[in-house]
Structure 1
Amino acid sequence: MGALHEPLAQLRAVNETSAFNRWCGFEVLSAAPGQVEIVMPWRHEAGQYAGLLHAGLAGALIETACGFAAATLVGPVLAAHYAVNCLRPATGERFIARARVVKPGRSQVFTACELYACIGADETLVATGETLLSVVAGASGP
């Protein structure tokens, strides 16, 4: 088990295998060792009662981006714990999650992420999060 050799192509392929990610419209924009950026376009179905991005989907974006960032360094991972801090109402045309590995390890990986709401070229920080991921022992690939 090891780092992804072509992280962008491999993460895009993994992303396509997830029915949930496809339903949400997640797309992997960029990937480098220990860093990932994913985007989700706004859809009415992603909103809560007031028409804002549902906090559960904010968490899903953060957890997914963190997992992908970790996978670039250690291979397959599973979320053991994640926390989300909602900073302001999330409204936009699309949402970008930028995740990075804080500390990789053999059995656990600590990551952090910022989630931005975008309207045109303007980005507003709407949430932050941290994820503790467990390395999947004996697995190969992302």
Structure 2
Amino acid sequence: MAVFATEAEALGYMKTVAVAKSGFSSWAGVEPLKVWEGEAELVVTVRPEMTQHHGYAHGAIVGLMADNACAWAAASLAGDVVTGSYTIHFVAPAKGTRLRARGLVVKPGRRQVVVRAEVWSEAEGVKPVLCAVATAAIVPVG
């Protein structure tokens, strides 16, 4: 049950609503790359003010990426959503200059959408590193 007619429409919605009207996502500079048919992909460039004392991306930024990937994947099927809960496991330091998150709907539903996400740390000339995995219960509110 798609709520967007085209992939471009879904992506445009995320750029104008989920990023531009969200103070945190807007401040972070989150860029949605794909939001369609239960999948989402987004990137963010890690700036110095987004790091922790070791210089890695702060867990809150990694969490933002996982949360958004889950919510946006769910929104591509369910429309307007909020996160009911999510669990994140940090599996490696986010050492790169950019984070990439991918979300995939596991089970759509009317009351909740179950989604999983991976967050990857990227740097020029270095193989991407999986830094976090998450699962979320996303709640349709539209």
Output the TM-score relative to the length of structure 2.
0.91
Q: Distance in 2 between matches of 1:69 and 1:9?
A: 14
| Runs of 4+ that moved beyond 3 A | none
Q: Distance in 2 between matches of 1:59 and 1:65?
A: 10
* Alignment map for 1:18-57 (pairs within 5 Å): 18-57=22-61
Output the TM-score relative to the length of structure 1.
0.91
Look up the match of 1:3.
3
1:44-76 CA-to-partner distances (Å, cap 9, x unmatched) read 111111111111111111001110110000111
SS at match of 1:65: helix
Shift in Å, 1:2:
5.7
Highest relative contact order (Cα 8 Å, sep 6+), 1 or 2?
1
Q: Is the 8 A contact 1:7 1:33 kept in 2?
A: no
Q: Distance in 1 between matches of 2:26 and 2:52?
A: 19
Q: Distance in 1 between matches of 2:135 and 2:68?
A: 11
1:99 aligns with 2:107: no
1:129 is matched by which residue type in structure 2?
A
Q: Is the 8 A contact 2:2 2:37 kept in 1?
A: no
Structure 2 segments unaligned to the other structure (5+ residues): none
Q: Is the 8 A contact 1:4 1:71 kept in 2?
A: no
Counterpart pick for 2:134 among 129, 136, 140: 129
SS at match of 2:42: strand
* Alignment map for 1:114-125 (pairs within 5 Å): 114-120=118-124, 122-125=127-130
Shift in Å, 1:13:
1.4
Give the % identical residues. Answer: 34
Structure 1 segments unaligned to the other structure (5+ residues): none
Q: Distance in 1 between matches of 2:53 and 2:61?
A: 14
Deviates more, 1:105-114 or 1:53-62: 53-62
How many residues are treated as equivalent by the alignment?
Answer: 137
